[in-house]
Amino acid sequence: MKKETAPKIYGLIGYPIKHSLSPAMHNAAFKKLKMNALYMLFEKTREEFPAAVRQLKVMGVRGFNVTVPYKEEIIPYLDGLDAQAKRIGAVNTVLNQKGRLIGYNTDALGFIASLKEDLDFIPQGKNIFIIGAGGAARAIGFALAKEKAKSIVFCDCLAEKAERLSKDIKGVFPDCLVSGQARGPAPTIDLLVNASNCGMKDSDPLPIEPKILPAGIKVYDIIYNPSPTKLVKEAGKRGIKAINGLGMLLGQGTAAFEIWTKQKAPVVIMRGALRKAISGNHH
């Protein structure tokens, strides 16, 4: 008999993450490619977080994703950053390279691919309003500026956080009109992005009052569970084209998979696993 070798471990660190569909997506991919690997959830509070990152390294975890609220906080614990992650200042994918933890950002890529494909929206020359100024908003803002968006406004209850993020993007993309504020959008926007975690709980209020949204706007809510979110539902009622973050999740996930395994991600299988998981997830 052949000795069973232990599977290679991958996973997700964040809090809360019980709702995550990443295990369904990655484990389906491992199975399809007959890889002896397993994707797990590492739900860690802020107090547990520093020790947990060290532990993942010691355990020899091959790679992991990082989600709310640690996409920026993880950086001091890493041994290196790829150029994109360094520029954005947020990490959602970590590769364990022979004991060195290297941070990447595949959120930017995943978001733009989904924006074009799923929402049929080309950012060039457009005005965009983003709710939130955390790690996901960072990746999305940098990605939109790189795609030559005309203007980006970040709205966060912490105005200084939104302003800091605007400054960071302007430093790299001086042609993009970027600003931060604590109030609602101007009537001239083409795209509204919810990059906050408002909408993850059924009890959450709407991140924005859909009544004030101009006609002809498109809405991208990066939350994918519950599906559809309240924001997507309300926008739909007003005849506004709105989608959730499932496409972004898939895009960042396939990119992370390729960074970790150096193999082509089985996109169709991963998309199928996500759709199946989401349909089985309705409360």
Q: Which of 67, 11, 6, 14 is nearest to 40 (CA)?
A: 11
Phi-psi region of 9 (alpha: psi -120 to 50; beta: other; left: phi over 0): beta
Higher pLDDT, 282 or 128: 128
* Residues taking part in catalysis: 71
Predicted local distance difference test score (pLDDT) of residue 194: 96
| Highest averaged pLDDT of the listed ranges 148-162, 189-203, 252-266 | 252-266
Task: Fill in the DSSP letter of residue 200.
Answer: S
Strands (E), 54-211: 63-66, 80-81, 93-97, 100-104, 127-131, 151-155, 177-181, 191-194
Superfamily of domain 108-244: NAD(P)-binding Rossmann-like Domain (3.40.50.720)
Q: In the chain, pLDDT over 90 holds for what percent of residues?
A: 83
Question: Does the pLDDT value for residue 7 go beyond 90?
Answer: yes
Q: What percent of the chain has pLDDT over 70?
A: 97
pLDDT tens for each residue of 72-85 = 999 999 999 999 99
Region of poorest pLDDT, from 32-46, 72-86, 150-164, 179-193: 179-193
With helix as H, strand as E and coil as C, how does 98-123 read? CCEEEEECCHHHHHHHHHHHHCCCCC
The residues that bridge with 64 in the sheet, in sequence order, are 11, 94
Domains 8-105+247-279 and 108-244 share a fold: yes
| Band of residue 282 on the pLDDT scale cut at 50, 70, 90 | low
Topology of 8-105+247-279 in CATH? Rossmann fold (3.40.50)
Q: Report pTM.
A: 0.93
Sequence ranges of the domains in the chain? 8-105+247-279, 108-244
Q: What is the pLDDT of residue 283?
A: 44
pLDDT in tens, 149-159: 999 999 998 88
- The mean of the pLDDT values for the chain is 94
